[in-house]
Amino acid sequence: MQQRNLRNLTVSAIGLGCMGFSHGYGATPTEEESIRLIRKAYDDFGCTLFDTAEVYANYENEILVGKALRPIRDKVILCTKFMPEKFLPGQEIPEGKTSRRGLRNALEASLKRLQTDYVDLYYEHRVPQGKDVGEVAEWMGELISEGKIRAWGVSEATPAQIRRAHTVTPLSAVQSEYSLMERRVEAEVLPLCKELSIGFVAYSPMASGFLSGKYSSADTFTGDDVRRVITRFDKKNIDANQPLLDLLHAYAKDKGATPAQISLAWMLHKYDNIVPIPGMRRDERMTENFGAVDVTLTDTEMQKLEEELSHIAIHGDRKDSDIQKLGTVETVATH
């Protein structure tokens, strides 16, 4: 596997988003199968970046990832996140979670669930409105100096928050949604990360699977599946976004690849500080997605692709507020 740098951390060019093993995308694999797949990502494909969070299925995902990675803990980069303004069971303290004690308590509990004594990359999952991210940056710096974490990051932060945080304790990564269907970070966030030598971790790089081309307006989503509320999966939007899939299929045919691989290759070619973390819960998806590192787009092909993309309108998006109402990704699990 090719490697990239998230400032001071060297990681595989494509990582593994582990949330889907516990919830968020319909029926989940068994624990045994999930552990097998997580280990397969490392053993067979050289993936070294694994991403989880305390809120994924109310701690269950961290426990699962900890079990899977324990035998290879010293060979991988383990990332988790704390949600600053959401109390999960056992986190209620007088100072509030966005405090030095609250942050430390959250980390110590994550370390136990992950069966490790340090986290390689610890994120503030969201930056609360009206809060000074510089305070969290200071506390993260203390944890780094103690060896509890090796690096820290922020998720879905604004350019001003990124700059403020980085000034206090240098950020190693910013994690936000980024894909061919969601490109808002290209305006300011990605240039700023490049300027400050901060890595960028792209979650939902396949637009929750839409860019695989495997869904149609006939598909339905139930239970805690986030695609129930991601509007790009509305039946009318699936049909309206067909021109994008047609374009990806055309490039895939020319390159002997798949639409998913073209989507990831586009991202990897565009920025050398980006590491996408698609979710993969089947052997064939791992082979396909990790195989994207071997799909090369020339500068001429990229220029042509960008020109063609500029004429395609994207219908639908993904809103945190809608997903929170569903009660999945950043609230509770229903499985």
Residues noted as catalytic: 56
CA end-to-end distance (rounded Å), the chain: 34
The answer for residues whose C-beta is within 8 angstroms of residue 36's C-beta and 6 or more apart is: none
- The 10 Å Cβ neighbour count of residue 184 is 12
The answer for residues whose C-beta is within 8 angstroms of residue 145's C-beta and 6 or more apart is: none
Cα 293 from Cα 248, distance rounded (Å): 17
Report phi then psi at 65, rounded to 5: -65, -40
Spatial contact of 75 and 62, defined as CB atoms under 8 Å apart: no
- The 10 Å Cβ neighbour count of residue 117 is 10
| Percent of the chain as helix, strand, coil, to the nearest 5 | 45, 15, 40
- HSE-up (13 A, CA, CB side) for residue 280: 27
Q: Which long-range contacts (CB under 8 A, 24 or more apart) does 308-314 make?
A: 308/247, 309/180, 309/244, 309/247, 312/243, 312/244, 312/247, 313/240, 314/181, 314/182, 314/232, 314/241, 314/244
* Parallel, antiparallel or unpaired: strands 3-6 and 9-12: antiparallel
Cα 215 from Cα 289, distance rounded (Å): 17
